[in-house]
Amino acid sequence: MNSKTVFGAIGLFILALLILFLLKVPTISSLVNDMLYIHPLSWLLFSSLLITGFLAAVTGFDNQNTGCALWLVTTIIGILWVIWLIIQGPLMYADLYRHTQYIDYSLIEQSSIRDVPYTVAKTNFDNQNPYSKSAPGDLDFVGGQWISSIDCAGFLNCFGQPTQGYYAYNPDGEDKVSQTLVEFPFSEAGLLTNSATYFVRNVNYFTEFHEIIYKQLPDGEVIAVASLIKRAGFTRWPYLWKVLIVHADGRTELLNPADAQADPRLEGIALRPEWLMKQQVIAYGYRYGASKALINRLGRITIQTSLVNDENSAPFLMQTPLGPMWYAPFSPLGSGSMIGMAMALSHDPSFPVAIWSLPEDQAVFAADSLVAEIESSPAHQQAYNWYRVSTESACGNVVVLELVPLVRLESGGNHLYFLGYVAPAPKSTQVLFYSIIDPVSRVVFQDLQTADEVDAWLRGEFELAPQVDGQSSPTVVISQDGTCDLGSQPAESLLEEIRRRLSE
C-alpha cells in the first residue's frame, strides 16, 4: 500500500468527522462531542488502533517485515488504549475532587418534605394525560412541586412536534394534575432538528446538559432552563459553564453561574444539576488520589442505590432553611451499608459539598434494609400485605416508596432519620401514610397520615413514640392552626409533651 492511499484514507476519515460535526444531528453530534471533546485521547488511541491494524493487515501481504512492525505498533497502541480506559475515570474524578470545595460538616436540618414521591407524581401524570400526540417527559422537583414536560409521543410526531409546556402535580388541589401550555422551539423527546440536543448544539456545540427545567414567571411567561456543563484539563473534569434560558419564541440567554444565582427569575431552580452533584459525590471517594482509589480502593464510595429508590435514586432534593439542597447518602464501594451524607445547595453552584460522616469504624443500614425494618415493625408486620414480585407472580397491595433522608433539629443537635412513603401497589396513585425510622437504632416510629403532620414533627412541634404492636397512628393530634391539641392526647403523650415544653 503506497503513501497516497494511506493519506487518502486518513483524509476521508477527517472529512467524515467534519461533515458529522457540521450536521449537528443529535446522535451523531453527541458522538463527535464525545470523540473530540469529552474523551479525545481515548478516541485517538482507538482510531490509531484501527488504522494501524488495517495497514498491518494489508501491508503484510506485500512486505512481511513492514507488516510485523505495524502489528507490533498496533499491539502497543492497543495496550495503551486499554490502560487509558482503566485509568481515565479515576484521573477525572481525582481532578474533579481537587477542583471542588468539600467541607466536613454536621447534618443540615430540613424545613419540609416533598408531599409525594416521584412514583406517585409520575403515575398521576401518566394516567391524566389527555393527548394522543403528547406524553409526560422527565420529572423534576421545582418550587416545591413535581413537574413534567409535555413532550411528543409517536415516532413521526417526534420529528416536528415541540414541547407543549409542562404538567404540575398539586396533591392538595381538586385537579391534582394541572397544565401550563406553551410551545417551545424543541422537544426533549424530539428527533433530529426537533430535539433539545440539536437546539443546544446551535447555542454552543461543545457543551453537555442533562435536564431541562420549566418555570412560569410572575408575568405569566414560561421559560426553560438548562445548566450547561463543560470539560477542563487533560483529564476532562466537568464544571458548570453557563446557565441557558430559553424563551418560547426561541430567544436564548447565557448567564454566568453567579449571575444566574442572583437572577430572580431562576429562584429555586437547581442550577447545580443532579448529574453534576452525583459526579462531585463520587469524586469525594478519590480524595486520597487516583492510584490509591484504583489499586486498593482506599476511600472509595458510591451513592446509595436501592430497589425502593429504583425510579428516583439519590441525590434527593429536599427543602431546608437555606433553600433547596441535594442530599446524597453514600456507602463504601461494594457495601450495602451507609457511612455518610453529602449535602450541597442546588441553587448555589459555588456552595461547597458538605460531608457528614459516621466514625470510621461505624456504619448503619442502607435504604433496602431500612425498608425491611419498616415492613417488619410491630404495627406493620401483620397489619399490611406488603407488595412482593417474583418471577412467577406478584402479590400484596402496599409498598414503601422512595426512602429519603430526613434531618430534624433536636436538643442534642441535628438528628438523621429516613422517611418512607407508603402507597398502594402496584399502581401508586396516592400516599397512604408516612413512616419514619431511625437508621442508627432502627426504631420505627408511629406513622403520620399527612405531609403537614410530618412537617410539624420536623419543626419540633411534637414528638413521636416508637411503634408498639397494633398501634401505628400518631399519639399527637395536630390542630388546624398547627399547634398540639393537648386535650385530645393519651396520658402518656400528654406527659411527654409537658416534659418537652418544660425543658424548652
Q: In whole angstroms, what is the distance from residue 355 CA to residue 359 CA? A: 12
Range 173-196 average pLDDT: 92
Range 89-107 average pLDDT: 97
Q: In whole angstroms, what is the distance from residue 42 CA to residue 50 CA? A: 13
Range 1-26 average pLDDT: 68
pLDDT tens profile 453-470: 999 999 999 999 998 876
Strand, coil or helix: 249 = coil
Residue 185 burial by Cβ neighbours in a 10 Å radius (0-12, 13-18, 19+): middle
For residue 154, how many other CB atoms are within 10 A of its CB?
13
Least Cα distance to 180 among 143, 223, 140 occurs for 223
Confidence band for 484, pLDDT divided at 50, 70 and 90: very low
pLDDT tens profile 351-367: 999 999 999 999 999 99
Q: In whole angstroms, what is the distance from residue 155 CA to residue 79 CA? A: 42
* Poorest-pLDDT segment among 172-186, 208-222, 326-340, 379-393: 379-393
What's residue 458's pLDDT? Answer: 96
pLDDT tens profile 36-79: 899 999 999 999 999 898 888 887 656 677 778 889 999 999 99
Range 14-19 average pLDDT: 71
- At position 273, the amino acid (one-letter code) is P
Q: In whole angstroms, what is the distance from residue 176 CA to residue 116 CA? A: 12
Place of cell 416510629: 445
Phi-psi map region of 456: left, alpha, beta (phi>0 left; psi -120 to 50 alpha): alpha
Range 412-439 average pLDDT: 94
Place of cell 410491630: 378
* Poorest-pLDDT segment among 396-410, 433-447, 487-501: 487-501
CB 227 within 8 A of CB 213: no
Q: In whole angstroms, what is the distance from residue 166 CA to residue 150 CA? A: 5
Q: In whole angstroms, what is the distance from residue 96 CA to residue 84 CA? A: 18
What's residue 213's pLDDT? Answer: 97
- pLDDT top residue among 451 and 173: 451
pLDDT tens profile 167-178: 999 988 778 999
Range 394-420 average pLDDT: 94
pLDDT tens profile 266-309: 999 999 999 999 999 999 999 999 999 999 999 999 999 888 88
Lookup: cell for 196: 433539545
Q: In whole angstroms, what is the distance from residue 447 CA to residue 473 CA? A: 5
Q: What is the mean pLDDT of the chain?
A: 89
Residue 370 has pLDDT above 60, yes or no: yes
For residue 487, how many other CB atoms are within 10 A of its CB?
8
Residue 251 burial by Cβ neighbours in a 10 Å radius (0-12, 13-18, 19+): exposed
CB 279 within 8 A of CB 236: no
What's residue 30's pLDDT? Answer: 84
